[in-house]
Amino acid sequence: MSTIALPRTVKNTLPLLRDSALLVPLVGAGVLIYLAVLPLFMLLLGSFEVEVAPREFITSLKNYQDAYASEHTYSTFVNSLIFAGGSSLLTFTLGTVLAWLVERTNTPLRVIFYPMAVIPLILPGVLEAIAWIFLLSPKFGYINVALMSLFGLARPPFNAFTLPGMIWIHSVGQVPLAFLMMVAAFKSMDPSLEESAMMSGASTWQTLRRITLRMLMPTSASVLLILFVRTLESFETPALIGIPARIYVYTSEIYLAFSEYPPNYGRGAALAVGLLILSALGVWLYTRSTREGKRFQTVTGKAFRPRQFDLGPWRWVGFTFLLVYFVGVVLLPFLVMLWASFLPFFAAPGWKSLEILSLDNYRYLYGFRPFWDAMWNSIVLALLTATVGMVLTSLIAWVVYKSRLPGSWILDFLAFVPITVPGIVLGMALIMFYVAFPIPVYGTIWVLLIAYVTRYIPYGMRSASGAILQIHSELEEAAGTSGASWWQTFWRVTLPLLRPGFAAGWIYICIVSFREFSTSVLLATGDSRVLSILLFNMFEQGQVTVVAAIGIVMIFTLVAIVAVFQKLSGRVGIQT
């Protein structure tokens, strides 16, 4: 329900669309459609096109035959499911436990863990995968070596180049996403709902499982959904771990299709369409499960006081968990990076490599003009993308989950589409569309902004929708009856109440758009070059340790940005 009680039938809706109150959300929806439909269209089109003469195409199903009629199809499919399923579950569990410990318990020192938790997200994907290979490689992995010499093991205990290895390495990179979204959810939950559970004799754990998480169903489902699809479409790990391990998943197929000579975009697109269908299914299930929106309104009109669970002695267990996690998952790869960034070339830690430690890489970067330009571009883009993206998705989330306009779930689906469109396809779509566009955005960072916003709508949408479902309608209705127009209500009541989800999405988008590569690569030009491209470029040249240095600089920049943002946004929203 909403400040403008909307009818549930199409018939009475049509006159309503003339209502200025609905203008803003509808514009938002319009923008979304504009952004999402283009790549979707190009993807579908491309999947049916076969090039016969230079830039002349006929439509046929050939691509689908190539894509799905190969003897590998089945194994690939199974691998993908295991990979995606396993890793999304692992990620979700880790992220949720972390978020809960940090946000809703009295675990010691939990506050300092918050900023640390996002670090794995910042490490450039390639670097992180490599870092993990350096830790877990059966041949030289630092951890393996250490353990073997420590316990005199005959064989290395871990092997990165396996399916479990793949799942692990990918998961740890994704945990921050789950963490951020779950923290948001935990933040905006009326504790009396949990308290009453405890008074019913439910232990902390039972309460968490049977009340908290169930109340947070929409967010949990959101998170799982996005993790699953995100994993399906993720590329770095399958390429860096899967190919050597000869474990092929969906995206490695797509990657291979694009990287054969001449590139077979048709097949790539056809494969991507499969991804699209899978996620469509996911979204459909999700919207169904959250239709009875009222069930999840945990930010009630009875103003509440967020509170922490008292874990008693268990809080030390929680503390240990946090510690182990951060040392094992965040610190180690980070240290590998840091270590490398002081080296002329990757070398195992040890006395003899101590001599060659130096600040050369940083000195080099300092004097390296392109680096600073790229840095600037990236920061500007990250900030813009995050802000535009979140405001937009908040609007859409409102339309989908509060207005309950008939068919609004389609928006939800559209908002999910971009995640399934391979970056390169999106890039090419945007090129073709904007290269001859009357407004000269092409070749500027604005086209990148469009690309980024498009790409990250799904993430924003997930965090926004979870949060908006938690807001009790009467809070908005009260604004309505106080004479606040739709926009005023949205701006002064809904958004502030959304803050936890908004912040989560903002931080995530800010970070990932800082890292975005596969689309930028096609759209960036000399003076709109972004950091990720520079990074890739230098990596290709084998200046890996310089890249590590860049990674470190990125981490500090982003942590700083996030901190500032937290400070600013802390002013609005529910005061805890």
Residues 411-470 that bind another protein (CB under 8 A): 424, 427-428, 431-436, 443
Closer by beta carbon to another protein, 280 or else 484:
484
Q: Of 112-131, which residues contact another protein (CB under 8 A)?
A: 130
Residues in the chain: 576
Residue 262, preceding bond cis, omega within 30 degrees? yes
Q: Of 292-351, which residues contact another protein (CB under 8 A)?
A: 292, 294-305, 307, 310, 312, 344-348
For residue 19, the minimal CB distance to another protein (Å) is: 7
For residue 344, the minimal CB distance to another protein (Å) is: 4
The DSSP string of 273-286 is HHHHHHHHHHHHHH
For residue 248, the minimal CB distance to another protein (Å) is: 6
C-alpha closest to that of 163 among 74, 256, 238, 72: 238
569 in contact with another protein (CB under 8 A): no
288 in contact with another protein (CB under 8 A): no
Tell me the window of 7-15, 80-88, 112-120, 451-459 that interacts with another protein (CB under 8 A).
Answer: 7-15
289 in contact with another protein (CB under 8 A): no
Q: Which two tokens stand for residue 139?
A: 């041949």
Residue type, 121: L
Give the contacts of 468 (CB within 8 A, at least 6 positions apart). 394, 397, 398, 401, 402, 494, 498, 501
Tell me the window of 27-35, 384-392, 453-461, 524-532 that interacts with another protein (CB under 8 A).
Answer: 524-532
C-alpha closest to that of 453 among 502, 385, 511, 398: 385
Q: Of 82-111, which residues contact another protein (CB under 8 A)?
A: none
44 in contact with another protein (CB under 8 A): no
Tell me the window of 407-415, 477-485, 507-515, 562-570 that interacts with another protein (CB under 8 A).
Answer: 477-485
Tell me the window of 178-186, 408-416, 444-452, 475-483 that interacts with another protein (CB under 8 A).
Answer: 475-483
Q: CA geometry: angle at 225 spanning 220 and 230, to 5°?
A: 125
C-alpha closest to that of 289 among 221, 336, 347, 225: 221
For residues 262 and 244, what is the distance between their CA atoms, to the nearest angstrom? Answer: 23
For residues 204 and 318, what is the distance between their CA atoms, to the nearest angstrom? Answer: 13
For residue 565, the minimal CB distance to another protein (Å) is: 17
Q: Please select the residue that binds another protein; options are 69, 111, 526, 567, rule is CB under 8 A.
A: 526
Q: Which two tokens stand for residue 225?
A: 């959904």
For residue 69, the minimal CB distance to another protein (Å) is: 15
Strand partners, 59: 49
For residue 97, the minimal CB distance to another protein (Å) is: 19
475 in contact with another protein (CB under 8 A): yes
Binding mask 189-228 for another protein (x = CB under 8 A): -x-xx-xxxxxxxxxx-xx--xx--xx-x-----------
573 in contact with another protein (CB under 8 A): yes
Closer by beta carbon to another protein, 491 or else 559:
491
The DSSP string of 116-147 is HHTHHHHS-HHHHHHHHHHHH-TTT-HHHHHH
Q: Please select the residue that binds another protein; options are 317, 324, 356, 357, rule is CB under 8 A.
A: 356
24 in contact with another protein (CB under 8 A): no
**Which letter, b or e, does each residue of 97-118 get, where b requires 16 or more Cβ atoms within 10 Å of its Cβ?**
bbbbbbbbbebeebeebbebbb
Closer by beta carbon to another protein, 381 or else 414:
381
Closer by beta carbon to another protein, 314 or else 321:
314
For residue 299, the minimal CB distance to another protein (Å) is: 7
Closer by beta carbon to another protein, 96 or else 489:
489
534 in contact with another protein (CB under 8 A): yes
Neighbours of 215 (CB within 10 A): 20
Q: Of 360-399, which residues contact another protein (CB under 8 A)?
A: 370
Closer by beta carbon to another protein, 72 or else 288:
72
Closer by beta carbon to another protein, 488 or else 557:
488
Q: Please select the residue that binds another protein; options are 184, 271, 493, 552, rule is CB under 8 A.
A: 493
CB distance 458 to 491 below 8 Å: no
Tell me the window of 61-69, 165-173, 397-405, 493-501 that interacts with another protein (CB under 8 A).
Answer: 493-501
Give me the phi and psi of 58, to 5 degrees please.
Answer: -120, 150
Q: Please select the residue that binds another protein; options are 30, 157, 328, 542, rule is CB under 8 A.
A: 542
201: left (phi over 0), alpha (psi -120 to 50) or beta: left
Q: Of 52-81, which residues contact another protein (CB under 8 A)?
A: 54-55, 72
For residues 488 and 506, what is the distance between their CA atoms, to the nearest angstrom? Answer: 22
Give the contacts of 547 (CB within 8 A, at least 6 positions apart). 124, 126, 127, 535, 538, 539
For residue 260, the minimal CB distance to another protein (Å) is: 7
Q: Please select the residue that binds another protein; options are 60, 93, 320, 482, rule is CB under 8 A.
A: 482
Q: Please select the residue that binds another protein; options are 32, 123, 479, 511, rule is CB under 8 A.
A: 479
Q: Which two tokens stand for residue 358?
A: 């130096």
Q: Of 160-189, which residues contact another protein (CB under 8 A)?
A: none
CB distance 121 to 348 below 8 Å: no
> Would strands 56-59 and 49-53 be described as parallel, antiparallel, or unpaired?
antiparallel
Dihedral sign from CA coordinates of 437, 456, 395, 408: positive
148 in contact with another protein (CB under 8 A): no
Give the contacts of 478 (CB within 8 A, at least 6 positions apart). 301
Q: Of 543-562, which residues contact another protein (CB under 8 A)?
A: 543-544
Neighbours of 398 (CB within 10 A): 27
# residues contacting another protein (CB under 8 A) = 125
Give me the phi and psi of 571, to 5 degrees please.
Answer: -70, -35
Torsion of CA 380, 384, 387, 391, to 10 degrees: 180
